[in-house]
Amino acid sequence: MKLTVIGTGYLGAVHAACMAEIGHEVLGVDIDEAKTAALAAGRTPFYEPGLQELLTRGTASGRLRFTTSLREAGRFGGLHFLCVGTPQRPDGLGADLRHVDAAVDGLAPHLIPGALIVGKSTVPVGTAERLTARLRAAGAPEAHLAWNPEFLREGHAVMDTLRPDRLVFGTGSRLAENVLREVYAPLIRSGVPYVATDTATAELVKMAANSFLATKISFINAMAEVCDAAGADVTVLAHAVGYDHRIGRSFLNAGLGFGGGCLPKDIRAFRARAAELGVGPAVAFLAEIDEINLRQRRRTVELATRLAGGELTGRRIAVLGAAFKPESDDVRDSPALAVAARLHREGAVVRVHDPQAVDNARAACPQLDYAARVDKACEGADVVLHLTDWAEYRALDPDALTPLVCRPVLLDARNSLDPDVWTRAGWRYAALGRLGAP
Ligand code: NAD
Domain ranges of the chain: 2-197, 207-289, 295-431
Indicate the class that CATH gives domain 207-289. Answer: mainly alpha
- Please give the distance, rounded to the nearest whole angstrom, from the Cα atom of residue 384 to the centre of ligand 1: 34
Q: Does 120 appear as a known binding residue?
A: no
So what's the pLDDT on residue 141?
A: 77
So what's the pLDDT on residue 435?
A: 72
Q: Among the options 18, 83, 262, 378, which is catalytic?
A: 262
Q: Say whether 227 is catalytic.
A: no
Q: Does 255 appear as a known binding residue?
A: yes
- List, run by run, the mean pLDDT of 10-residue segments along the chain (438 residues): 98 98 98 98 96 98 98 97 98 98 96 96 98 90 94 98 98 95 98 98 98 98 97 97 97 98 98 98 98 98 97 97 98 98 98 98 98 98 98 98 98 97 97 76
Hey, what CATH topology would domain 2-197 get? Answer: Rossmann fold (3.40.50)
- pTM beyond 0.80: the answer is yes
* Residue bearing the CA closest to ligand 1, atom 4: 9
Question: ipTM value of the model?
Answer: 0.99
So what's the pLDDT on residue 327?
A: 97
Fold match between domain 2-197 and domain 207-289: no
SS3 per residue for the chain: CEEEEECCCHHHHHHHHHHHHCCCEEEEECCCHHHHHHHHCCCCCCCCCCHHHHHHHHHHHCCEEEECCHHHHHHHCCEEEECCCCCECCCCCCECCHHHHHHHHHHHHHCCCCCEEEECCCCCCCHHHHHHHHHHHCCCCCCEEEECCCCCCCCCHHHHHHCCCCEEEECCCHHHHHHHHHHCHHHHHCCCCEEEECHHHHHHHHHHHHHHHHHHHHHHHHHHHHHHHHCCCHHHHHHHHHCCCCCCCCCCCCCCCCCCCCHHHHHHHHHHHHHHCCCHHHHCHHHHHHHHHHHHHHHHHHHHHHHCCCCCCCCEEEEECCCCCCCCCCCCCCHHHHHHHHHHHCCCEEEEECCCCHHHHHHHCCCCEECCCHHHHHCCCCEEEECCCCHHHHCCCHHHHCCCCCCCEEEECCCCCCHHHHHHCCCEEEECCECCCC
CATH of domain 295-431: 3.40.50.720
Of ligand 1's listed atoms, the one at least distance from the Cα of 13 is: 26
